[in-house]
Amino acid sequence: MSANSTELPLDVVADAALDHRKSKEQAQTRWLSGLGRLGGRAMAVAIGAPLLAGLLLVVQAWLVADTLERAIGGGVARAELATGIALIAALFVARAGLSYLAESNGSLAAEHVISRVRLALFRKTLSERPDWSASRASGAISAAIVDQAESLEGFLARFLPAMIQAAILPMAFAVIVLPVDWVAGMLLLVTAPLIPVFMALAGWGAEAAKRSEAVAFARLSAYFADRLRGMLTLKLFGRAEAETRAVGEASEQLRQSTMRVLRIAFLSSAVLEFFAALGVAGTALYIGLTFLGMVNLRFDVLTLQAGLFCLLMAPEVYQPLRLLAAHYHDRAGAKASIAELDTLFEGLPEVSPKSTSQKERATSPRATDATIVATGLTVRAPDRTGAVLDGVTFRIEAGEQVAIVGESGSGKTTLLEAVARLRGHEGSVTIGGDPEIGETQLRQMLAFLGQKPRLFQGTIAENIRLGRRDASEADVRAAAERAVVSDFADLLPLGLETPVGEGGLGLSGGEAHRVALARIYLRSPDILLLDEPTAHLDGATEERVIDGMLDFAKGRTLIVATHSRTLAARMERSLRVAGGQLMPVLRAKPKAVSRSGGVA
């Protein structure tokens, strides 16, 4: 390496990568921990009920030991023990009720939080530009929203309450046993903390294996969804059997990853049971030898009640730790899923405790100025080798009607997509003088019609009504007539109630464009960005569509990208895209005619 080289040493690069990974994992852990606070009252009940049940357990164990001592050592009659037995039964029922309450509220809290996470991921998906979605497999995105989010259920409903119990109850039980018998208490105090240490060692391996499983599952979901979408093409080219084998191999890899996770989970449970058995056995051995007089480490005599109480509490000290071990893989699975979400969505979304209501969204502030100003607008090609638009600057006043013309591939569509925030760009595009207009506000005031409008399986009227769900039949009919949809729909037996297939199957390209135009007419956007709105139309139909379009666009900003000279001629002005630049099109002034009929 030369002395003036700017390359960094490999160890510095490795340390920086490690620090970045650690900071990212810490951010993911904070995000995951913050989800528990979104559970609200249900999560508080799921955590608090087991702690209260633990307090009742101490009382129950003491009553059981006292009843047995009175019955065995004191020879008390059965009738005199009835009150104590009834109280023990009542405590048992109360603990069972608290257990049910904790479990049901934990599931309720997890369901609430997962719905919020899914909503946040869905909103993030919708807020991104189409090129962001196109760069990711749709199967991976859907698997992340559905399956990866679902893996948080175990963490929220089971692991979080178990973690609180394991942090409080074992030490509390050991401290309670300590004044009854200091040897048994110290034995429990020393052995109980060892279990989480060995659990953590096994848990690190489980987390790594679970992360590998999450990646394998995401890949399989994306692979399967892509092959399912292209099934017809694969069949036509004779690749169906080969792709079936490939899906089977990917499924086998997922199975192996899952089995690795289960092996480590069983190992962690075995480690816990081993140390728990040692602790319980050690306590029982000490109590037994003390009763036999072979060990005497106490300052007074160990009573039957005290010995039984210590024996009853010894397994309960380790029970919260057993529960934590049983659900420790839920934490590993949640962390692996969070890492996958972080990678796929390039950051974890902010999860709000409450969803925004339809009324709140409808009353959000809306700009009234629809002036569009672009400064230094540069849009690069996907391969980053050149610029489709290079430093374009323009201003379109509110209410102005402008045509964007140019050769195919010159950048007309790119310009409209950049204005609509559907494509990444350099430079600035402001609407109404606000460079930071919100996404919701922008979508309310702007309508975009691409060259391939998206129609869904349903009737023609249902596809039009997507523009405004509460539109009446009269509003739908008026929009259809303005977009000249009624011309072909009224010729069909069912009219506007005629069903169409997914993607507009059953309609021609021009008919699909008109249905999409009618959908826009149901809205009240301030800005209309239309890409080839009159393509595939004959001359007479085009004139009628243009009439309806200009009538609707009165008082609105209208920008159309078009090859149609008829449409461009009826706009107030035209701009031509060529060589990455935008320039005005000079129109020939009409020649004046003299009073005598000659040309002046």
339 with 377, same domain?
A: no
Please check the confidence at residue 8 and state whether its pLDDT lies above 90.
Answer: no
Q: What is the predicted pLDDT for the residue at 6? A: 46
Q: What is the predicted pLDDT for the residue at 181? A: 86
Q: What is the predicted pLDDT for the residue at 365? A: 42
Instruction: Point out the least confidently predicted range of 1-10, 335-344, 558-567.
Output: 1-10
Please check the confidence at residue 541 and state whether its pLDDT lies above 70.
Answer: yes
Q: What is the mean pLDDT of the chain?
A: 82
Average pLDDT of the residues in 420-431: 87
Which residue, 204, 191, 209, is CA-closest to 321?
Answer: 191
389 with 337, same domain?
A: no
Residue 10, domain member (yes or no): no
Average pLDDT of the residues in 135-140: 75
Q: What is the predicted pLDDT for the residue at 204? A: 57
Average pLDDT of the residues in 279-308: 83
CA distance 317 to 61: 12
CB atoms within 10 A of CB 345: 19
- Which amino acid makes up residue 403? A
Residue 173, domain member (yes or no): yes
19: confidence class by pLDDT, cuts 50, 70, 90: low
Cβ neighbours of residue 125 closer than 8 Å, sequence gap 6 or more: 133, 141, 145, 345
How far lies 229's CA from each of 37, 137, 225, 504, in Å? Answer: 40, 11, 6, 17
Q: What is the CATH number of the domain that holds 113?
A: 1.20.1560.10
N-to-C CA span, the chain: 79
398 with 337, same domain?
A: no
CA distance 214 to 457: 33
Average pLDDT of the residues in 167-187: 87
242 with 390, same domain?
A: no
**Burial category of 129 from C-beta neighbours within 10 Å (exposed 0-12, middle 13-18, buried 19 and up):** middle
307 with 384, same domain?
A: no
Residue 450, domain member (yes or no): yes
More confident position, 419 or 232: 419
More confident position, 273 or 413: 413
More confident position, 527 or 182: 527
Average pLDDT of the residues in 395-420: 92
Instruction: Point out the least confidently predicted range of 159-168, 189-198, 199-208, 273-282.
Output: 199-208
Q: What is the predicted pLDDT for the residue at 447? A: 92
Tokens matching residue 203: 């848990």
Please check the confidence at residue 435 and state whether its pLDDT lies above 60.
Answer: yes
CB atoms within 10 A of CB 79: 7
Residue 8, domain member (yes or no): no
326 with 410, same domain?
A: no
- Which amino acid makes up residue 469? R
Average pLDDT of the residues in 568-574: 93
CA distance 510 to 508: 6
DSSP state letters, 292-309: TTS---SSS---HHHHHH
Q: What is the predicted pLDDT for the residue at 210? A: 59
Q: Secondary structure of 530-591 in the HEC alphabet?
A: EECCCCCCCHHHHHHHHHHHHHHCCCCEEEEECCCHHHHHCCCEEEEEECCEEEECCCCCCC
More confident position, 522 or 328: 522
Q: What is the predicted pLDDT for the residue at 206? A: 58
**379 SS3 class:** strand
Rounded percentage of the chain residues whose pLDDT exceeds 90: 30
Examine the fold and report which residue of 294, 324, 344 is the final residue of a domain before the chain moves on.
Answer: 344
Bridge partners of 527, per DSSP, are 446, 557
Backbone angles phi, psi at 342, to 5 degrees: -60, -40
More confident position, 386 or 598: 386
338 with 462, same domain?
A: no
Q: What is the predicted pLDDT for the residue at 133? A: 76
339 with 414, same domain?
A: no
Tokens matching residue 85: 């037995």
Domain count, the chain: 2
Q: What is the pLDDT of residues 110-123, one digit of tens each?
A: 999 999 999 988 88
More confident position, 136 or 506: 506
**392 SS3 class:** strand
Range of the domain at 331: 15-344
Please check the confidence at residue 477 and state whether its pLDDT lies above 90.
Answer: yes
Average pLDDT of the residues in 24-34: 82
Please check the confidence at residue 528 and state whether its pLDDT lies above 90.
Answer: yes
Average pLDDT of the residues in 543-557: 92
Is the separation of the CB atoms in 404 and 416 below 8 Å? Answer: yes
336 with 458, same domain?
A: no
Tokens matching residue 364: 């959000």
Q: What is the CATH number of the domain that holds 560?
A: 3.40.50.300
Instruction: Point out the least confidently predicted range of 44-48, 108-112, 222-226, 376-380.
Output: 222-226
Examine the fold and report which residue of 344, 359, 392 is the final residue of a domain before the chain moves on.
Answer: 344
What is the distance, to the nearest Å, from the Cα of residue 598 to the centroid of all Cα atoms in its chain?
72
CA distance 159 to 149: 16
Residue 119, domain member (yes or no): yes
597: confidence class by pLDDT, cuts 50, 70, 90: very low
Q: What is the predicted pLDDT for the residue at 358? A: 41
More confident position, 526 or 339: 526
Q: What is the pLDDT of residues 340-379, one digit of tens each?
A: 888 888 888 888 766 544 444 433 444 457 889 999 999 8
312 with 461, same domain?
A: no
213 with 278, same domain?
A: yes
Rounded percentage of the chain residues whose pLDDT exceeds 70: 84
88 with 150, same domain?
A: yes
Q: What is the predicted pLDDT for the residue at 10? A: 46
Please check the confidence at residue 381 and state whether its pLDDT lies above 50.
Answer: yes
Residue 2, domain member (yes or no): no
Residue 548, domain member (yes or no): yes
